[in-house]
Structure 1
Amino acid sequence: MSTTEESPTAAQAGASATRAFRTSRQHGTAGEVTPERVSTVVTALLDGVHRTIRTHQVTYPEYVAAKRWLIEVGESGEWPLLLDVFVEHEVEEVSAQHQQGSKGSILGPYHLPGAVRLPSVCTLPMRADEPGTPLVLAGQVRDTTGKALPGAELDIWHADDAGYYSGFAPHVPDGNLRGVVVADDDGHFEISTIQPAPYQIPTDGPTGTLIERAGWHPWRPAHLHLIVRSPGYRPITTQLYFTGGDWLDSDVAKATKPELVLDPRPQPDGRRRAEYDFVLEPA
């Protein structure tokens, strides 16, 4: 992904992600957490940090550098980015152990509430000259018994052909490539859009500094984000990838799963078409 004068900085993206997180109710709150639970989890976390310090003989200069870096993460608003890239995939894996239905994945920092509602057969909002390969995602939403879920909602968003998200890049129009698609009476949907590009997470802030100093790469494979929901059923938050895509086997966020890889087929009209059904379990 090339850098241009209009490209978002890490500070801009981080501030947007922080605002979006504060207003989002996607995963609700932790509810009533007992002091015992807080003590157990925090003690285990601190034990891990202390064990790392002892095992690797962390020095005072290294400790001071880490402290300075943590302050920079907070000041830049990059906590949502940092946690979603390096931590969320483990939380999602733990949750998935007790869930049925379609495979989930991480939410990531780029979801925005309030996207436009669209009919079951639709085209996502996009610029008149939106670059990229035309893509159709079609399928059905069912429950675990195979019953269609009429009116199920598919909240879908993704990056553009240059790897930028609307709401997080100043040169991309608000609402671009975002929508809430309402399935028909048989749970079917057909969404026309463009195939997104891989992208690198912002690298000019403290998260990028960590990645560079550790010798890691900052890239995520191309993917579609979806939250699929229907009243009375557990929502699924997931991402769909593309076969043969760059970084598919080395996603910096470790969020890819074989079950989530699409294989779009060329169509006579020049578009590529992929089909994927979603299965929701009762709440």
Structure 2
Amino acid sequence: MEAIIANLTQWIDKEKITRDQITNLKKQRDTWKAELADIDRESLVLVTSTIRSPHGGELNLAWQGVDGHIRLDSIKDGSTVLLRANHGSIVAQGSSQSTFTVWPDTPEGYEVTLDIRNCLLESIKRHRIGQIQTPERHVRFNYDYDLALDRVLTGIAEEDGSLEVVHYKSKGVRNPVAPRVQMHTLVPGAGQPCIAHYYKWAGEYVVEKSLKQQLGSIGEDTWPFVITTWTFNGGVRVVDSIIEEQPGDSRRITRFTYPATAPANNYKHLILSRPVKIEVTTESLTTASTVEQLP
């Protein structure tokens, strides 16, 4: 920014340009100066220094500030160090590490190492002290490009086979304000069923409908699912209905009715969001359905 400001000043002072061009360049220079001043201004960052227990215990947290980054340095219980941090250099491009030693100087001590690349958390390793090459637990993080936030988290993978994946909606989205999750899948591993959440959006910020589905073995067609639908009541976002179904077995539908109006006071939104009637319909897919009204 300083180079841009200096270049504009040179054009204004030394180059043979028109009065209108000078006026325009001065406006640009003032804009850049304001941006630079905002970046360089002093800012106050609040951090927790002490945590007190109702039973009298107290933890003291120490921090360090480096180039605008606030990093945890240690946690102590009196004179006893419970956690000690060792941070590498902060780099915008390239790799760095932060290692936290838990219960240092004790037989139970271990380390947690954070691998950071291009300011993004790449992996977390738990290992014995000084034995980073043989981690006891290793979690990896994956990212993808995003038009609004540059990078978004798309996956978390662990060594035990568990996996968490997020898929964002991109097609048909122009100049998005924020990324919109289209599908979130959790694979617990160890033979447990997968759980998937699907989301239908209305506009940039509002989830209109979600589908939660439990996925079993390949070829199995009796996966239970839950569909939740939202709506607006007087400008307040509320749950409209919930459908819970076990294919081939049972279905449960819960519908909510809300007050149509509310007094114009501080409690208006609270009143409009509270259902006045809840109707639950249960159905055995081979017998007649039953309707039950909850107070």
TM-score (norm 2): 0.19
- Flag the structure with larger Rg: 2
Higher helix fraction: Structure 1 or Structure 2? 1
Structure ranking higher in strand proportion: 2
Structure 1-normalised TM-score?
Answer: 0.19
Q: Taking CA–CA contacts closer than 8 Å with sequence separation of 6 or more, which of the two structures ends up with the larger relative contact order?
A: 1
